[in-house]
Amino acid sequence: MGRHRRPSSSAGSAAQGRARPGDTGATEQYPADGPPPGATRPAAPGTTPVPPPLAPEGVRGGHPEQREPGGGWGGAPYGPAAAARRGGGREMPGPRQEYLDAFEDEDLFAPGAPRRSPVQVTEERDGRTPGATAYASGDFFAPQEAPAPAGADGGDGGDGDDGDDEDGGEPAGPDRRRAGRGWAAAGIGAAAVVTVLAVVVGGQLLGGQDDGAGSRSAADHSGRAAEGTASRSEGRPTPASPAPAPKAAPSYQQRMGEKLPLDPDLTADGDFAAVRGIEKAPGKGRLFRYRVDVEKGLGLDGKLFAEAVQKTLNDDRSWSHDGARTFERIDSGQPDFVITLASPGTTAEWCAKSGLDTTIDNVSCDSASTDRVMINAYRWAQGAETYGDAIHAYRQMLINHEIGHRLGFNHVSCSRDGALAPVMQQQTKFLSMDGITCKANPWAYPN
């Protein structure tokens, strides 16, 4: 930077002398309109001059200082005197003097005083209309009018050396102070704008980062949740499928149509048990009461057998046809007969008591000399070849045939080829006799 020459307040006067900083005993003299920027204001008589406050180097109002050619940011005192004053090291420049001058005699915060900004104070002192500056009107970056060059008031610089203006000289007198204040106010406004923009842009960046971070966090959380779910599911037994609903109990027809396993040479212990329960006679004919006994150890369903006897005897195709008879089951008292389900060996024993041999074809009998009508359990379980898989019909035939003997009917053979075999024919043994073949028939009155 070149030396600055300040013209006198009167036209054509020579600039007043000014000693360079560091010269011993030099006394600075300033024009009436105030000292230049960065200079120490003369102290009042009897007082000690107070140097301007120092700020950290490169910092001006909290922002990094960027020095540019031309002195736009002002000068800072350097040299031996400055170094001695600050105790060594580099001295950090303080605020511009014109900025401080703008407020030194203004009490902006006096009680009851209207709140005014530094910009308004500067405008009022300079006699300008408040808000007339470029930044006050919103045009923060409008070009400002260049300050008047030194000597514009007609002075020639005294000794005719006008090269200092080309080196970045500043206007003298009131113009210089107004220019300095204007630049200071413009700097404040520009700093405010930059601060606002920085906040907005920073907020957007932070918002974007937050959004991205949130997205990544959500994704990470989802991934961790999925991973955690997978890891938690590992090693755990697969939940058992619901147990299937229990099947409905098989119907009477289904149970009666099922063959059951039984040894044809089985002989149980001969101990009988009455099937509990009473089933009233459904008709009005001659009444026959009976009891149902089942030999123990057979492994057969005694209740099913008792139900089959009651249903078969009271069927209109049976001996209760046309209301002639009706049958009632009891489990105690004196019955007319006892229909008994017994093993092949026990059946043979009881049939032998009446002079009958059931061992030849493993058949059933009515032991007339006793109160028992014997039903061979093997035939009940397995049926006969003459009936094939029609086990239900065969069981009905066994009941009707042996009860028919108890009612007084004897054996009868088929007399016409292709006709239904009589229920009193020995259908367990044969369906064909003397060249005549009949059809299997379980009923006394099939028509």
* CA-angle at 418, arms to 414 and 422, nearest 5°: 30
Q: Report pLDDT for 418.
A: 95
Q: What is the pLDDT along the chain (447 residues), one digit of tens a residue?
A: 444 444 444 434 433 444 444 444 444 444 555 555 555 555 555 555 555 555 444 444 444 444 545 544 444 444 544 444 554 445 455 556 665 565 555 555 555 556 566 556 566 666 665 555 444 444 444 444 444 444 444 444 444 444 444 444 444 455 555 555 665 566 666 676 667 666 655 665 555 544 444 445 554 555 555 555 544 555 666 777 788 888 889 999 999 999 999 999 999 999 999 999 999 999 999 999 999 999 999 999 999 999 999 999 999 999 999 999 999 999 999 999 999 999 999 999 999 999 999 999 999 999 999 999 999 999 999 999 999 999 999 999 999 999 999 999 999 999 999 999 999 999 999 999 999 999 999 999 998
The architecture (CATH level 2) of 252-437 comes to: 3-Layer(aba) Sandwich (3.40)
Helices (H), 234-338: 252-256, 302-313
Q: Report pLDDT for 290.
A: 98
Q: How do strand 372-376 and strand 365-366 relate by DSSP bridges?
A: antiparallel
Contacts of 34 (CB under 8 A, 6+ apart): 101, 177
Q: Locate 144 and state its tokens.
A: 């400002």
Q: Report pLDDT for 121.
A: 57
Q: Report pLDDT for 336.
A: 97
Nearest residue to 399 (alpha-carbon basis) of 330, 296, 320, 297: 320
Q: Report pLDDT for 141.
A: 45
Are 120 and 135 within 8 A, CB to CB? Answer: no
Place of tokens 């001295």: 91
Nearest residue to 123 (alpha-carbon basis) of 113, 114, 115, 133: 133
pTM for the structure as a whole: 0.48
Half-sphere exposure of 48 (CA within 13 A, CB side): 2
From residue 201, alpha-carbon distances to 198, 207, 439 in Å are: 5, 10, 106
Domain range annotation of the chain: 59-64+74-156+169-200, 252-437
